[in-house]
Amino acid sequence: MRRSSDQQLRAKIVRIRALLEDLLDLDAVFSTTRAVVMRGRPRVPMMDFQTAAGGRLAAAGYDYQIDVAEAPGLAAERVLLNIRLQAMETTFPWLNLLLFGLTVLVVQFTLGTAFMAWFLAILLFHEFGHYFAARYHGMDTSWPYFIPAPGFFFGTLGAVIRIRAPFRDRRSLFDMAVAGPLAGFVISVIAIFVGLHLSTVTTDIPTDAYFFGDSLLFKFASAVIFPNLSPNADILLHPIGFAGWAGLLVTMLNLLPMGQLDGGHIAYAMFGRYQRYIGFVVLAGLAVASYFWLGWLLWVFIGIIMKPQHPPTLVDELPIGTGRRMLGWLAFAIFIVSFIPVPITF
């Protein structure tokens, strides 16, 4: 009988550990169907370890990479062994393109060409921000998968990328996490100002109109474009402006500092294991906010399912540095100015 993929993976891990057991005291093992990553302390001098371990893995037919993990918090030198079981993707991403094409059609049918072009541009910049940052750090990651959603308000549930290896340290975690929201935020702000410039003001509001909540940033942009707006008037938002508003909402939701959302990644990179307390506070805050808008209950549910706390990286002791920390505070400032207490009312 053919063994399951899980059994085959466990057997490979056992073989790899047996190859190295006299050379390495293991701290942790992480595995996917594509790679095995081991962290441990060499039992022999580092140069001897690299020569012996590399020779054994190469003789066994494994593609590998050996990194020395040095950080102020480490009591002794550690190594990271990244052993690939499958090569990184090099095939043409047909499925990704098909899903993107379907998403284009569904979003265009749902909300029109102008909204589709700008909103998908925001999502593209967001996801490729993650993608290029991940590839810069050598992570095995997929192309973005767009999720068409016929019948959903925006026509899509967004896009995701798959990272098939653990994060080496908090620096690579931070860079991957912050790149997406920052890139998407820039395009969202451009869309908001362009869209507001094309919007009109009216006092004759249809009875079946949707009312979109304001963030601090959107209030500021509206005041710049319409400085003398009457209290009895409202803005009929152009589709491009709506795309910018939706992009800002997506950015804000991704920056919630809990679990494995972008904000959770950033918070963990900045505060380490203290992030768990931030995650639980955010979850409680969303539960309170659901009194004003029931949609927050969905995010409470999502937070519980994925867990508010973030898992550790392989070399958690490596600090992120002052520059990244300042960029992290900028990301949380973007979260605050983008936050919409009641996103939509009917």
Position 2 confidence tier, pLDDT thresholds 50, 70, 90: very low
Last-in-domain residue among 84, 116, 139: 84
Nearest to 38 by CA among 76, 78, 82, 71: 82
Beta bridge partner(s), residue 28: 39
More confidently predicted of 227 and 207: 227
Q: DSSP states of 122-154 as a string? A: HHHHHHHHHHHHHHHTT--BPPPEEEE-TTSSS
Last-in-domain residue among 31, 58, 84: 84
Residues 72 and 118 in one domain: no
**Span 65-93, average pLDDT:** 68
Residues 178 and 314 in one domain: yes
Position 114 confidence tier, pLDDT thresholds 50, 70, 90: very high
Residues 128 and 57 in one domain: no
More confidently predicted of 164 and 320: 320
More confidently predicted of 26 and 285: 285
Residues 105 and 243 in one domain: yes
Longest dimension (CA), the chain: 79
pLDDT digits (tens, 9 = 90+) for 230-283: 877 788 899 999 999 999 999 999 999 998 899 999 999 999 989 999 999 999
The rounded mean pLDDT for the chain is 87
Q: Answer whether residue 46 is part of any domain.
A: yes
Last-in-domain residue among 53, 84, 115: 84
Kindly list the distances between the CA atom of residue 287 and the CA atoms of 25, 252, 276, 282, in Å, as whole numbers in the listed order: 44, 17, 17, 9
Query: Residues 64, 81: contact at Cβ < 8 Å?
Result: yes
Residues 225 and 297 in one domain: yes
Residues 261 and 305 in one domain: yes
pLDDT digits (tens, 9 = 90+) for 212-226: 889 999 999 999 999
* Domain with 69 in it: 5-84
Q: Which two tokens stand for residue 109?
A: 């049918």
Residues 312 and 170 in one domain: yes
Structural domain count of the chain:
2
pLDDT score, position 90: 57
Residues 261 and 215 in one domain: yes
Residues 230 and 206 in one domain: yes
Flag whether pLDDT at 1 surpasses 80: no
Lowest mean pLDDT of 76-85, 135-144, 195-204, 227-236, name the range. 76-85
Residue 66 belongs to domain with CATH number: 3.90.1150
Q: Answer whether residue 89 is part of any domain.
A: no
Residues 257 and 288 in one domain: yes
Q: Answer whether residue 274 is part of any domain.
A: yes
Query: Residues 312, 164: contact at Cβ < 8 Å?
Result: no
pLDDT score, position 86: 61
Residues 213 and 313 in one domain: yes
Residues 192 and 114 in one domain: yes
pLDDT score, position 31: 73
